[in-house]
Amino acid sequence: MNEHTNLSQFRQSVDRFVRERLPADLRQTVRQGQQSTREQLIRWHEVLAAQGWLVPHWPAEWGGRDWSVSQQMAFDEAMALGDAPELNSVTFDMIGPVLMRYGSPEQQRRFLPTIASGRQWWCQGYSEPNAGSDLASVVTRAEREGDVYVVNGSKIWTSYGQYADWIFALVRTRREGKPQEGISFLLIDMKSPGITVRPIVGVHGWVVFNEVFFDNVRVPVELRVGEENGGWTVAKSLLEFERLKLARIGENKRRMARAREVGLSRWREGRRVADWPWYRTRFADLHARLIALEANAERFVARQMAGEKIGPEVSMLKLRGSRLIQLWEELIVDALGSEAAPLSPDWLLNQPGATSQDALAGTASSRRFLARGYTIAGGSSEIQHNILAKQVLGL
């Protein structure tokens, strides 16, 4: 740790920072479980960037602070508990580190400072209608015409594509041979002629997903990362970045705090929800799981800090952390009862006797649906099971 020797002191300074500097409108949006706008998020990025806390886990060379994993995790936790929005990991944890490792010097100079400033948004063009977990079967093709690739096809489930300035995409540059060996990794400007974004409204009412269509989109060859047909290696390396964060300890603690707040403030049949046996047992069960998850994550953190390699075993953190978030959201909805039913928090806030806590209720159902994404995106739980079965248990 180069900046703060005392982790808890550091936590306090982050707590204070979030309390004082997180814009009130954004905090409200996050607390109410509503979707933040691009403008709100970019504004927050700029506040963080000014503090040096937008990409602290990056090396100093690129505007980072070389934070250790444990410092990064403490930071994430304080942010989550302070009702700050989850940062777009595609931008800060994926493409940034990919460019540092595989990007050309020109690509690095062109993109990394802008990403570190917080003003550029990236999305990930991996999945296609017929290539979800089975990514190697992507068919969006890029044909070489002199110094450009001409890209045709479509990507789907592109998270926050509607906010994005750039997309990094896996495209097919060769149809012969093994499917993995005919894929290239391209950086594509979302303003390029021929790109159409179709937002897909989710069951939660949010637009997270998009379908992105490419119709003769011309991409300069110098925006390819890695070798032609060598994109699979680059794509796979994404899975190695920030895997410890996938335990989502902070996000789980945020939900626990909400579940607790709802339990302590709501009454059912003359009895506080937090005094009902069903609530207590479920809360304690999830809390016990969270304490265990945290102890397990610390084991991997210690390993990483000691310079040891983090093996495929780390998949268990994602498996458990993502599921646990869903279980918290279910408990919150159950604890709210009919209060969770209205579509918008505004209705509740306008009821007689409403308190600000009621903001928690309005969109509990949205959050519960959103949480289902955690076990699908970034390698579904089934894929994590397969990884653990094959690479750890040797089955």
Residues contributing to the site for other proteins (CB under 8 A): 260, 263-264, 274, 280-281, 283-285, 287-289, 291-293, 295-296, 298-299, 313, 316, 319-320, 382, 385-386, 388-389, 392-393, 395
The nearest distance, CB 276 to other proteins, in angstroms, is 11
Output the DSSP codes for 20-52. Answer: HHS-HHHHHHHHTTPPPPHHHHHHHHHHHHHHT
Q: For the chain, where are the alpha helices, taking DSSP H only? A: 7-21, 24-31, 38-51, 69-81, 89, 96-102, 105-117, 231-237, 249-265, 277-305, 315-336, 345-349, 359-362, 364-370, 381-387
Both tokens of 8, joined, read: 């808890």
The nearest distance, CB 292 to other proteins, in angstroms, is 4
Closest to 216 measured CA to CA, from 234, 200, 194, 237: 194
Task: CB nearer to other proteins: give 236 or 280.
Answer: 280
Q: Count of CB atoms within 10 A of residue 296's CB?
A: 17
Instruction: Please give the Cα distance from 251 to 68 (Å, whole number).
Output: 19
The residues with which 384 forms a beta bridge, in sequence order, are: none
The nearest distance, CB 282 to other proteins, in angstroms, is 9
Output the DSSP codes for 255-308. Answer: HHHHHHHHHHH-EETTEEGGGSHHHHHHHHHHHHHHHHHHHHHHHHHHHHHTT-
3-state secondary structure of 206: coil
Instruction: Please give the Cα distance from 373 to 177 (Å, whole number).
Output: 33
Q: For 93-152, where are the alpha helices, taking DSSP H only? A: 96-102, 105-117
Q: Catalytic: which of 39, 143, 176, 242?
A: 242
Task: CB nearer to other proteins: give 24 or 295.
Answer: 295
Instruction: Please give the Cα distance from 32 to 81 (Å, whole number).
Output: 14
Query: 235, 220 in Cβ contact below 8 A?
Result: no
Task: CB nearer to other proteins: give 240 or 382.
Answer: 382
The nearest distance, CB 281 to other proteins, in angstroms, is 5
The nearest distance, CB 288 to other proteins, in angstroms, is 4
Alpha-carbon Rg for the chain, nearest whole angstrom, is: 22
242 is catalytic: yes
Task: CB nearer to other proteins: give 18 or 290.
Answer: 290
Task: CB nearer to other proteins: give 320 or 367.
Answer: 320
The nearest distance, CB 250 to other proteins, in angstroms, is 16
Task: CB nearer to other proteins: give 218 or 289.
Answer: 289
Active site residues: 242
